Amino acid sequence: MHSNIESHLIEKRVFRPPKDFAKKARIKSLDQYRRMYRESINRPAKFWAREARELVWRAPWKKVVEWKAPFAKWFGGGKLNLSENCLDRHLTSARRNKAAILWEGEPGDKRTLTYQQLHHEVCRFANVLKRHKIGKGDRVIIYLPTIPEAAIAMLACARIGAVHSVVFGGFSADSIRDRIADSGAVAVITADGGYRRGAIVPLKKNVDDALREKTSVKCVIVFRRTGNETHMEEGRDVWWHGELEYVDANCPPALLDSEHPLYILYTSGSTGKPKGILHTTGGYLVGIYSTMKYVFDVRDEDIFWCTADVGWVTGHSYVVYGPLANGATTLMYEGAPNWPEPDRFWKIVQEYRVNILYTAPTAIRAFIRWGDQWVAKHDLSSLRLLGTVGEPINPEAWIWYHKKIGGGRCPIVDTWWQTETGTILITPLPGAIPTKPGSATLPFFGVDAAIVDEKGSEVGANVGGKLIIRRPWPAMLRTIYGDKERYKKQYWSEFPGNYLTGDGARRDEDGYFWIVGRIDDVLNVAGHRLGTSEIESALVSHAGVAEAAVVGRPDEMKGQGVVAFVTLKGGVKPTFGLKEELRNHVGAHIGAIAKPDEVRFAEALPKTRSGKIMRRLLKEIASGATVTGDTTTLEDFSVLTTLRESEE
């Protein structure tokens, strides 16, 4: 019986940083990266103090890091304000008149907010919160579309020391209710509605449903976005625009301790009870500031577009806080990538002359499925850097992204990180680190990552195992809100003193990390532990396949059988012959042990609104069980019906 995750997919293509890019980059060579990385590991206090000094502190820290596993304190005793670092500090230079946020709504409406204007709006809204007796330490739920007001609300909370918890706009009333109950939130900031694929998502109605029974919420502030009919509860609900009439724009930033809670972001837990991941102020700010600066090599003149929704950690770190802390211009888009046509993203890139694009592998595979003709219609020559986030990217999707979107000239930063980590932890630096399609490459500064077996011993090159982080990093989660025991047990108990990521991975002979998927998704086939992402990558490398998801089903002989759900490229016909061809294709790429027992063709796969494939639902379908799990985050419910009908 093998206890380690086996890894069979070998990728030999290497892409060196373009010389012109490297020449202008902050980190210009592999030697420079290695020198800085060694310092960050051997002398972390010196390294992180230097990064932190580029920000505004109102009182100096006493100690860079205090580590009593599994609890960390970063920049203890230091006082600062994250909102001040994202806004006020840019107002003393020409940046005050620079665009902070460029925004486009799904219907095509547009807005630009300069740093000065954004500061003005944040201060006014912070005073609205104060007017409603919301202050330091109070929890506030933000349930908004990806509109500038989402960033304004987050920054306003940070300005007064309130703790925000952003709830993704695709979540249901039940999800809002759970998060209010767990956090003890005193207020909800929402909108009448938001736009999604031409329809209005009734955000305020969902909030009303969540508040039907008694909760801790005392007030609901509603932004008018769509103009749909909205119930306003007297004594509880107020309009955003109406409240602004009572306040001015004078709101000095609160002096906050470095470890003051900044936000709680809920992520799904295996028990069904959402986990409130708690991030604090100083360490998180240093983490997002430095990763934004080095990983994206962001410049004053750049237009940076991270396509994530603000409701996810990617939206927090790389739509709002990271870009603004660096004085960059961040682009926000409200709607779907294929509304009204599948070229909406490329239209936006062309119109705004986007320089850096950061998106998810799931979106990239959807673009491949929709066809190259939608890309070919647009001028994407403004792009200089591409990024991916959310899950491992299969090599063929990486190559397509590199050629079709980057024109073969843009480095790709394939970033690995999590809600819990706060910032990117494993990533190429675009001017320094040669890339291999499908690999997140090397650890970021200060990140001591390793792959271990079941006993916690580090494994050799190209041996699969569990990915752990062996020392604290500035933006790490501090706890699970209200549940320190769960925090200790979930992340720190299996290998005491080491953070268990929950991901399986291998490290190649060059030290590059290859993430092979969640440990939960590992298949046990006749005693072989196989990562699902490698089988999926093998399937997607077939010329006719756009996307694939692989799950296990009970098998009397082998323990688990492999079932592949496959979405084909436009114009490719699903046939029995193609099923056999795909099975053999996987066998040729990985080995006979990984051949799917069954291949099912699907027009679409069940995904969350953030684009993650819901493999849990596919497992239930593959094993012939009734779908009983939570489906509130499912983007398109008709997908389940179609998949059930495709069963053989």
**How many Cα atoms within 13 Å fall on the side-chain side of residue 384?**
18
The reported pLDDT for the residue numbered 271 is 46
Contact 464, 530 (CB under 8 A): no
Q: Can you tell me whether residue 449 is helix, strand or coil?
A: strand
Residue 530's nearest CA partner among 462, 583, 594, 466 is 594
Q: Compute the C-alpha angle 5/10/11, nearest 5°.
A: 135
The reported pLDDT for the residue numbered 9 is 66
Question: In the block, which residue shows the tokens 């630096």?
Answer: 429
Q: For residue range 115-140, list pLDDT tens digits in order.
A: 999 999 999 999 999 999 999 999 99
The reported pLDDT for the residue numbered 8 is 62
The reported pLDDT for the residue numbered 137 is 98
> pLDDT below 70 — which residues of the chain?
1-3, 5, 7-9, 268-273, 526-527, 529, 608-611, 625-648
Q: How far apart are CA 392 and CA 567, in angstroms?
A: 18
**What is the b/e burial string over 149-175, where b = at least 16 CB atoms within 10 angstroms of the residue's CB?**
bbbbbbbbbbbbbbbbbbbbbbbbbeb
Q: For residue range 432-482, list pLDDT tens digits in order.
A: 999 999 999 999 999 999 999 999 999 999 999 999 999 999 999 999 999
The topology (CATH level 3) of 14-82+268-443+471-481 is: Rossmann fold (3.40.50)
- With respect to CATH, is domain 115-243+259-264 assigned 3.30.70.580? no
Contact 215, 245 (CB under 8 A): no
The reported pLDDT for the residue numbered 617 is 83
| Token duo for residue 66 | 């205090």
Domain range annotation of the chain? 14-82+268-443+471-481, 115-243+259-264, 522-645
CATH, range 522-645? 3.30.300.30
pTM: 0.88
14-82+268-443+471-481 and 115-243+259-264: identical CATH topology: yes
